[in-house]
Chains A and B, each alone.
Chain A
């Protein structure tokens, strides 16, 4: 409705064969909003992100981003428009170095992706490497820059996952359980870094760690049985009896 909204989701439905995971989802996101998405395991939160990024296409409904219908656009195109995600399960270039992972993200932004006959190194692409170093420092990954990703700890890989998302220059960042499986210290560190992100960056975050989500989000959607059951402030959600019933009371919420 609002012409200001950055993202509009209209009557999205997603079926896998006979299984209807998302039944009818509609809502709008304003620029700069921080939206938390919660819901029990298997509620379809990741599926929903996949639809927003173009990793999957909806069975019905449309997705409008910055006034443009992107429902049928491939994922790489949406990334370029600024819809960027991180993955729930680490999805990195495991046999390459941390730096290599990051440079691949940055070099596209720097417009170097089609440079064929110039070796990519610090001397030839100074600005690129400078930006990489800055990001690595911010994310505390500088000391492991030259390490192969698969040899790093799970927590470090998780950090890389999020760093890559942010390095992609998102307008809207979709974080799928960024702190899943991390220790408390690591979680605190991630939360601090997410807090430091520019205020005009729109963020949608799926999390099972409710402290994280209540700390970060100013609006929360509760996904339940294929519908958005609640769309409200954290305060209201926290005291909603139904939400407590189906979600917070249950086990499986870490």
Chain B
């Protein structure tokens, strides 16, 4: 079943450029990039129960690193991708040391503070980053010497990485390690009593989340060809957090749906008004009050009514068989 779904997704993504206009391919690419960003944050927010308001720091680190490497070293995707991911990985290693010491509100504030530090740093390092003008003149990415000048190529690179990450994270959150993270979200005290050094788990979750956040930043430089400091600003962290929350934190597809909704709305609405941030706030408040379980939660609730009896499979299948008798 899972393989089938995966196969269908591969086919759909593979075929998309043949029947979608390049504007739509571009939109889809942007959605996938932000979906990866949201998926990476969801590991923290949805599965470990740590709400970060500084995730843009990793996005920015990956993006700027890839852009600068592209300018100064090589525009080869393999180089920029590895370089960008490595930079965000190391940033997460360092920032995580501090952030894993706290929980809840303090975690939120600390991640926010760190990301604003990164923002100021980028804003002020004008010679390297272009400061408030943003990083311009990023060369077109190339793969084995072939320039990815067409959006379709960027789309394919993005789609492949998206599918791999989606599958990887799906397995990860159901693995013994991933279940420990869910346990920490539920009741950290109990997990400690069970013999888990929960701090280490939170740290690892933070580093994975930050590293993958950086990866989405790298893809964004391929897509956009330009990086502005606003991509590192706290509003960016807020936007991705909203994507996770309105899509459905702690589910796999939720953040993807959230990213799609926000990107589409922004694209549509931005043509009529420049009060996008205000509208985003309104949308978020609407979800918090009326649909707190997110888009995917609503979907599940309504399909469960439709397919009564076909409720998600229990883990111990034998049990249910015996219970019937």
For residue A215, give the distance in angstroms from its CB to the closest CB of chain B.
26
Q: Which B residues between 160 and 204 are near A, CB-CB below 8 angstroms?
A: 168, 171-172, 174-180, 182-183, 186-187, 189-198
Of A36-44, A64-72, A85-93, A200-208, the one with at least 4 CB within 8 A of chain B? A85-93
For residue B260, give the distance in angstroms from its CB to the closest CB of chain A.
26
Asked whether B317 is an interface residue with its Cβ less than 8 Å from the other chain, the reply is yes
Beta-carbon contact of B316 and A53 below 8 Å: no
In the complex, A164 Cα to B175 Cα: how many Å?
Answer: 20
The answer to whether residues A142 and B194 also contact, given A93-B183, A114-B177, A118-B171 and a CB cut-off of 8 A, is: no
Beta-carbon contact of B174 and A119 below 8 Å: yes
Asked whether B5 is an interface residue with its Cβ less than 8 Å from the other chain, the reply is no
- Interface size for A (C-beta < 8 A) is 46
- DSSP class of B's interface residues: helix, strand, loop or mixed? helix
User: Please, what's the 1-or-0 string for A134-153, where 1 marks a CB less than 8 Å from any CB in chain B?
Assistant: 00000000110110000000
> Hey, which chain A residues are within 8 Å of B314, CB to CB?
97, 145-146
Beta-carbon contact of B176 and A115 below 8 Å: yes
Asked whether A238 is an interface residue with its Cβ less than 8 Å from the other chain, the reply is no
Asked whether A194 is an interface residue with its Cβ less than 8 Å from the other chain, the reply is no
> Hey, which chain A residues are within 8 Å of B172, CB to CB?
116-117
Beta-carbon contact of B197 and A120 below 8 Å: no
Beta-carbon contact of A120 and B176 below 8 Å: yes
- Nearest-neighbor residue (CB-CB) of A143 within chain B: B323
Beta-carbon contact of B186 and A116 below 8 Å: no
In the complex, A108 Cα to B315 Cα: how many Å?
Answer: 19
Asked whether B147 is an interface residue with its Cβ less than 8 Å from the other chain, the reply is no
For residue B318, give the distance in angstroms from its CB to the closest CB of chain A.
8
In the complex, A168 Cα to B190 Cα: how many Å?
Answer: 12
Asked whether B1 is an interface residue with its Cβ less than 8 Å from the other chain, the reply is no
Asked whether A100 is an interface residue with its Cβ less than 8 Å from the other chain, the reply is yes
Beta-carbon contact of B316 and A146 below 8 Å: yes
Beta-carbon contact of B176 and A113 below 8 Å: yes
- Interface size for B (C-beta < 8 A) is 33
Beta-carbon contact of B194 and A108 below 8 Å: yes
- Nearest-neighbor residue (CB-CB) of A146 within chain B: B314
Beta-carbon contact of B192 and A76 below 8 Å: yes
In the complex, A145 Cα to B179 Cα: how many Å?
Answer: 17
Beta-carbon contact of A93 and B190 below 8 Å: yes
Beta-carbon contact of A133 and B316 below 8 Å: yes
In the complex, A4 Cα to B295 Cα: how many Å?
Answer: 61
Residue of B195, B318, B322 near A76 (CB, 8 A) is B195
The answer to whether residues A105 and B320 also contact, given A93-B186, A116-B175, A121-B315 and a CB cut-off of 8 A, is: no
- Nearest-neighbor residue (CB-CB) of B320 within chain A: A146
The answer to whether residues A129 and B323 also contact, given A117-B175, A120-B175 and a CB cut-off of 8 A, is: no
Asked whether A179 is an interface residue with its Cβ less than 8 Å from the other chain, the reply is no
- Nearest-neighbor residue (CB-CB) of B177 within chain A: A116
Asked whether A212 is an interface residue with its Cβ less than 8 Å from the other chain, the reply is no
Asked whether A240 is an interface residue with its Cβ less than 8 Å from the other chain, the reply is no
Q: Which B residues between 294 and 325 are near A, CB-CB below 8 angstroms?
A: 314-320, 322-323
User: Please, what's the 1-or-0 string for A52-83, where 1 marks a CB less than 8 Å from any CB in chain B?
Assistant: 01010000000000000000001111011000
In the complex, A214 Cα to B186 Cα: how many Å?
Answer: 36
Known pairs A99-B315, A104-B191; list 11 more (Cβ under 8 Å): A79-B194, A92-B190, A93-B187, A99-B316, A104-B183, A114-B176, A114-B177, A119-B171, A121-B174, A145-B314, A145-B316
Interface residues, chain A, with chain B CB atoms under 8 Å away: 53, 55, 74-77, 79-80, 84-85, 87, 91-97, 99-100, 103-105, 107-108, 112-122, 125, 129, 132-133, 142-143, 145-146, 164, 168
A-B contact pairs, 5 of them (CB 8 A): A79-B194, A79-B195, A84-B193, A104-B179, A142-B319
